[in-house]
Amino acid sequence: MRAVLSLFSLRRRSIAVRLAVSALLASSAILLLAAWILTTLYRETTERAFDSRLLVFANNLATDLVTPSDTESRAFTLGDPRFDLPLSGWYWQVGKPDARPRDLRTSRSLVGVPLKPATDPDGKAGVGQIRQGYGRAQDDRLLRIIERDVDLGEDGRYTVRVAGPADEIVNDVERFRNSLFMTFGLLGLSLALTTLLQIRFGLAPLKKMRAALGAIRRGEADRITGTYPRDIAPLTGEVNLLIETNREILERARTQVGNLAHALKTPLSIIVNEVGASDAPADLAEKIREQAAVMRDQVNYHLDRARAAALAGTLGT
């Protein structure tokens, strides 16, 4: 919590940190959003490619199904040995929607267990319509399932269902995601370094102005000089105008203080001389001389300060 508060406190004090943090947050959000969009699009593309492979098998089964012959004696062959390996993840099933398990024609890989339909499949129900989605095998393996209905007229409607292991899709998308995050990570690092260089380059004129103001404060210069970007050039002009105005005010003040001091010195001298020459009581004369001396000391003190200020200089003087 203290680190977070320290960060926000630093952000309030530093333009560079504010720019760096805002650029970092914006870049991170954009890169994460882009990674999510690209991963989603790639997953959809991979699913469509996998569905196209399954659809070839489903169409072959549908072709065998509509071939004129006895349904029980039809030979459903796909020519792919994976459909013959038990629990291989590659399955097919042909049967009526309300058929009992023993009336279904299935691949050997199913080992007699019916293939369940996909959960929340995409696509519309109906003859000739393609539906696809994900489901689970009997060993709880994730499957990509595609199915279609075929109308055989008097023989009724049959559902052709083909499934393949979704591991291929998941692994392919995972590899793409890892490569994408690695690429975007390098891109984000490059953007961060570029942003830091841009901030350093962009704030260089302000650093130069700060050095110029320090020179003025130390009495090494009397105004801001040099060429500045168009964005902050008016600021340098205003600062120089402020310095010039300050110089004029100080000069007038010094002149007025000097005039006042000189105007007081002469009357004080006259008062002291008159008191010495008059018949005033001794104690009163001494008191007047004492106070006149105090006034003379104060006048000399402020005259000395005015001279010292003129020699040492203040802001821009």
Among the residue ranges 93-97, 223-227, 265-269, 275-279, the one predicted with the least confidence is 275-279
* pLDDT confidence of residue 102: 78
Cα 232 to its chain centre, rounded Å, is 27
* pLDDT confidence of residue 96: 84
Residues found in the chain:
317
Is there a contact between 158 and 149 (Cβ–Cβ < 8 Å)? yes
What is the Cα–Cα distance from 163 to 150, expressed in whole angstroms? Answer: 17
C-alpha gyration radius of the chain: 47
The predicted model gives 151-156 an average pLDDT of: 76
Does residue 180 register a pLDDT over 90?
Answer: yes
* pLDDT confidence of residue 315: 46
* pLDDT confidence of residue 254: 75
| pLDDT per residue as tens digits for the range 37-62 | 999 999 999 999 999 999 999 988 88
Burial class (CB in 10 A: 0-12, 13-18, 19+), 80: middle
Between strands 119-122 and 105-106, the pairing is unpaired
* pLDDT confidence of residue 73: 46
